[in-house]
Amino acid sequence: MKNKELAENIIQYVGGKDNVISLVHCATRLRFVLKDHNVANAEHLKKQKGIIMVVESAGQFQVVIGNNVNEVYQDIMALGHFDNSDEQTIAKKPKQNILSKLIDIISGIFAPILAALVSAGILKGLLSILLICGLLDEKSSTTTFLIVIADAAFYYLPMLLGYSAVKKFGGNAFFGIALGGCLVHPDIINMLGGSLQTQTHFFFIPIDLIPYSSSVIPVIVAAWVYSFLEKNFNKIFHDSFKKFISPMFGLLITVPLTFAIIGPVSTYLSNSIAAGIMFVYQLNPVIASAILASVWQILVIFGVHWGMIPLFMNNLSVSGRDFLMPIIIPAVFGQTGAALGMTLRSKDKEFKALGTSSVLSGLFGVTEPAIYGVNLPSKRPFIFGCIGAALGGAIVGFYQPFMYSFGFASVFSFAQLIPIDGINISVFATIAASALAFFIAAILSYCFGVAKPKQVAEVSNNDEEEKAATQSQISSPMTGQLIPLSQVNDPTFASGLMGKGAAIIPSVGQVFAPEDGEVVSLFRTKHALGFLTDSQAEILIHVGIDTVKLDGQHFEAHVEVGAKVKKGDLLLTFDIEAIKQAGFDVTTPVIISNSDEYLDVVIAHALTSIESGETLLTLSHK
């Protein structure tokens, strides 16, 4: 009942079921594609018990739920009667840029099958430990059954991907299973006769047959071709028989085309991608690993880590092992350790309960509760987690371990690092690197996770001159509705990571100089600029959320970098309605980038409408 009530609230606050175009879920998040993001109420969602965070990224409205996301997803699908495979639903999707489309496609294809792959990967790792310890006889029938259970999801991966990919591309998903099944059919395997390539033909078409078990890219490309053919055949054939004839012709064309062209070309592309990544990695594994580990959780926050999933799986498909996934393990343990440090230092019972559950979730590979619930609100712990991850990642890069099955980075990952010939030093190095990331982040967060109160000299209430000397004001650069920074639908701004300040929902598409000063930076896309006042306050004015994706459309700059301006001079103009119609939120954060140089930054205006030139912020000087 709790999940059902939460599901009802989520449907209500994303704008109702009529505002939902499609919905999928991953390990912790509901990933909505909405008709209009402005209709959704992210702030009300964040206040719902059972919701950790709301993130808008890559064209998706993401609601972070946690471990019980699947139960909530099922209730939402039942209550809303959603069908992601419906052709009309697919056609209604809003325009997205290339990156947003790519992330949406990848998450839509891989998210539904990850649970099966992760559980199989964990079982393979545990099976390796049992065999190495002599607790199982590798020649026994019991071992054979366990191997089959652990390997089936990977061996028949083309069938799983065929289903989810065809469904994502708008075709009949069950024929996606048939498509994948053709690639791994026993007769095809027998034609190969144990070799990696053989010459054959289909009618008059010559075919270089290669194995496709565990392959990734070939079946996804084939699924797109099949879906394209099925949808076009549906337009040609009569309604009375198109459901049978269209898929039949789609398979008859796609399967031979896959064996003759799509498969070999995609396999060559897969091998080239794997070789290219390995080449770049080998240039300096230590630095590359440190960078990837340190930024991984930042990628998770914005949901763009999905772009890495096909790379992991492609490496496993091409060479049977992957060097990228081990690098991520210290990143997970770094944030988990930071959450532990904050939990131990806190005396608040509710926070301790939240922190304890976040640490447990983090150990099992789910870091969102630790990030959003514990680390990001205090900022420093999140940074300490990234520092620990970088150090651990550098160690992993030095020893270059491999993971031999797919899985989320967690305590189970160590078993998946064990090669067939037994435990080696790289496994112990990864364990040590993860422990280092964990304890460094925990210790730093425990000792320095919360800034100490600064000693402020008393200011006499009667001495107005002395009081004025310790404060300065920043005027509003635009006209609109004033809201707290915490209500911005972007965790980077809302959490205060970029600095303290306020946000304005503009009613007039103009940005004016808040004080006398200099334009020190202007984004090429003209959606944001940096401003340095004569009193040395550094101000970032960021018009809209994710508006960088507009690539400068609907924005016009009236100044250049280095321009000296007076308070009230026009800096930027923008088309509010055009930006909204493009699907973007126009809420504008006004950030004091060097907030750490002030005792405090507070909103100096009632949370109502504000005019440009009115006092927006008060800065208390040290």
The catalytic residues are 26
Radius of gyration of the chain measured on its C-alpha atoms:
27
| Cβ pair 56, 42 in contact under 8 A | yes
| Cβ pair 61, 33 in contact under 8 A | yes
| Cβ pair 548, 526 in contact under 8 A | no
| Cβ pair 513, 565 in contact under 8 A | yes
Query: d(Cα 558, Cα 511) in Å, to the nearest integer?
Result: 10
Pick the closest to residue 325 from 312, 339, 340 (CA basis). 312
Query: d(Cα 412, Cα 304) in Å, to the nearest integer?
Result: 24
Residue type, 327: I
Q: Please give the C-alpha separations between residue 322 and each of 19, 155, 314, 325, 417, in angstroms, as whole numbers.
A: 40, 17, 8, 6, 10
Residue carrying the six token digits 């809201």: 483
Q: Please give the C-alpha separations between residue 127 and each of 117, 122, 403, 407, 509, in angstroms, as whole numbers.
A: 15, 9, 14, 15, 62
Query: d(Cα 573, Cα 587) in Å, to the nearest integer?
Result: 15
Query: d(Cα 72, Cα 78) in Å, to the nearest integer?
Result: 10
| Cβ pair 500, 474 in contact under 8 A | no
Q: Can you tell me whether residue 88 is helix, strand or coil?
A: helix
Residue carrying the six token digits 């790792």: 125
Pick the closest to residue 228 from 208, 210, 249, 250 (CA basis). 250
Sequence-distant (6+) residues with CB within 8 A of 209 are 188, 191, 192, 197, 198, 199, 200, 259
CA dihedral 584, 586, 592, 593 (to 10 degrees): 20
Sequence-distant (6+) residues with CB within 8 A of 521 are 529, 530, 561
What the block records as the tokens of 418 is 């064990």
Q: Can you spell out the DSSP letters for 21-33?
A: EEEEE-SSEEEEE
| Cβ pair 352, 343 in contact under 8 A | yes
Q: Can you tell me whether residue 132 is helix, strand or coil?
A: helix
Query: d(Cα 354, Cα 53) in Å, to the nearest integer?
Result: 14
Query: d(Cα 391, Cα 202) in Å, to the nearest integer?
Result: 54
Return the axis-axis angle of helices 242-257 and 217-236, rounded to nearest 10°: 140
| Cβ pair 615, 552 in contact under 8 A | no
Residue ranges of the alpha helices (H) in 521-595? Answer: 576-581
